[in-house]
Amino acid sequence: MPHFEHRGCRLHYEDHGRGEPVLLVHGLGSSIQDWEYQIPHLLQRRRVLALDLRGHGRSDKPRERYSIAAFAEDVAALIEHLGLPNVHLVGISMGGMVGFQLGVERPELLRSLTIVNSGPEVKARSAADWWMLAKRWTLSRLLSMETIGKGLGRLLFPRPEQAELRAKVEQRWPQNDKRAYLAALDAIIGWGVRERLSAIACPVLVVSADRDYTPVATKEAYVRELPNARLVVIEHSRHATPMDQPHRFNAVLDDFLAQVEQSQPHHENKDPQSC
């Protein structure tokens, strides 16, 4: 399994296929596994990269303070490690925050940016916001990873026919290193780059579930602040849209990537490092 080292951390990634490179970045407490419904589909036409962020999956879990900026630096290091000019980056939740951070710090590395159920800041703007963040911070420290996984599974996949998806969350969540999980949660709270969105020049697709944690109106507001962005709402979906609506999500992503490549063609990368 391929790894590379950056800032003293051994990072696990996957690299398969040929064509335009698409880099997938997971959310908090997740890993490459959560793209299981996207990777085989994208491989039909493109080169697919996926990374376990530090503290997650099969990457190292250093005892240090994590930050969204550091996660973005790891992603940039992978792009440079593979010698890619730029990539289509797709990030969900915390992975979307990493995408925003990379977009404002290293815009030259992005050919396009797809943000899934995420936003450019996690800052309390009201008493309700403070309460929500404080509750999440406290419960994450008090509850076991097993308990969090069961609760999250019911929240993300509440319908009877989603039992298999619930079981996946319940099985995967306890595999997290709790110290690293809490460090990543702390990296999210208070983070933001919203005032710098004008730096993101590449095309941006924002995908929002109709039943995500934050309302569609929140995404509509920040989409208007981006130079070249559009919003697509996927119905009957919650926070884990690529898992609960994979066919619809994959179709929306396909259309966006094809439009970007048609309007901004460049030479295909012929030499992926692993296939």
What is this structure's pTM?
A: 0.94
**Among 18, 16, 22, which Cα is nearest to 260's?**
22
* Predicted confidence (pLDDT) per residue in 120-144, tens digit: 999 988 888 888 889 888 999 999 9
25 neighbors 89 (Cβ within 8 angstroms): yes
Using CA atoms, how far residue 137 sits from 41, 144, 202, in Å, is 36, 13, 34
What lies within 8 Å, CB to CB, of 106 at 6+ separation is: 72, 76
In whole angstroms, what is the distance from residue 131 CA to residue 245 CA? 30
- To 10 degrees, what angle do helices 68-81 and 94-105 make? 70
Tell me what the pLDDT averaged over the chain comes to.
94
Tell me the CATH number for domain 3-263. 3.40.50.1820
Write out pLDDT tens, residues 198-246.
999 999 999 999 999 999 999 999 999 999 999 999 999 999 999 999 9
Domain limits, the chain: 3-263
